[in-house]
């Protein structure tokens, strides 16, 4: 069953949720495969490169970096997977408010910024997918008519 079979009241939130869960998936399901793949590769690569730079113990730490963790949550499934990995690698950090950093220098901060920016970028991708999921808006129909030369 395609997404067009759902009424727009269900389709728009569904596309938003799927775009949050896996960046770019909403665009792919709407038929914008190239745009979806570019978004998916860009956001997922940025997020996991940030985790690789800063280590999973220092990058995804909601007790220590609350606001950055909220930004990271924009990538949805990636953040949940990284946090599960964080808990598996260092379960004692879930109980402590102090960070358990294993990286050196400022690499943990750089990793946090990469992952946070990936989450905020995915929020734009989610909003774009949700806007594209409702094909029969009056403004969209009007823009198509104007581009064809109709008044």
Q: How far apart are CA 106 and CA 125, in angstroms?
A: 29
In tens, the pLDDT along 13-60 reads: 999 999 999 999 999 999 999 999 999 999 999 999 999 998 888 888
Residue at 15 is within a domain: yes
What is the model's pTM?
0.78
What is the span of the domain harbouring residue 35?
Answer: 3-93+105-147
Q: Is residue 113 part of a domain?
A: yes
Let me know if residue 99 belongs to a domain: no
pLDDT at 142 over 50: no
Does residue 100 lie in a domain region? no
Q: What digits encode the pLDDT tens for the residues 65-116?
A: 889 999 999 999 999 999 999 888 876 665 655 555 555 567 778 899 999 9
pLDDT tens digits, 2-22: 666 666 677 889 999 999 999
The four Cα atoms 118, 123, 126, 130 give a dihedral, to 10 degrees, of -160
Residue 135 lies in a domain: yes
Report residue 33 as tokens: 């495969």
- Match 């727009």 to its residue by tokens: 8
CB-based contact 56:89 (threshold 8 Å): yes
Within-domain flag for 137: yes
Joined tokens for residue 140: 């969209």
Counting the structural domains of the chain, the total is 1
Whether 98 maps to a domain, the answer reads no
């Amino acid at each position: 069953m395609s997404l067009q079979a759902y009424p727009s009241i269900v389709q728009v939130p569904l596309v938003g949720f799927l775009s949050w869960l896996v960046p770019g998936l909403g665009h792919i399901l709407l038929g914008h495969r190239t745009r979806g793949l570019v978004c998916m590769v860009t956001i997922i690569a940025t997020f996991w490169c940030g985790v690789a730079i800063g280590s999973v113990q220092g990058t995804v730490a909601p007790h220590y970096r609350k606001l950055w963790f909220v930004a990271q949550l924009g990538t949805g499934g990636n953040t949940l997977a990284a946090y599960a990995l964080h808990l598996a690698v260092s379960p004692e950090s879930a109980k402590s408010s102090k960070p358990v950093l294993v990286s050196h220098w400022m690499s943990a901060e750089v990793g946090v910024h990469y992952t946070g920016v990936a989450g905020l970028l995915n929020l734009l991708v989610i909003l774009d997918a949700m806007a594209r999921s409702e094909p029969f808006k009056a403004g969209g129909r009007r823009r198509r008519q104007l581009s064809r030369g109709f008044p």
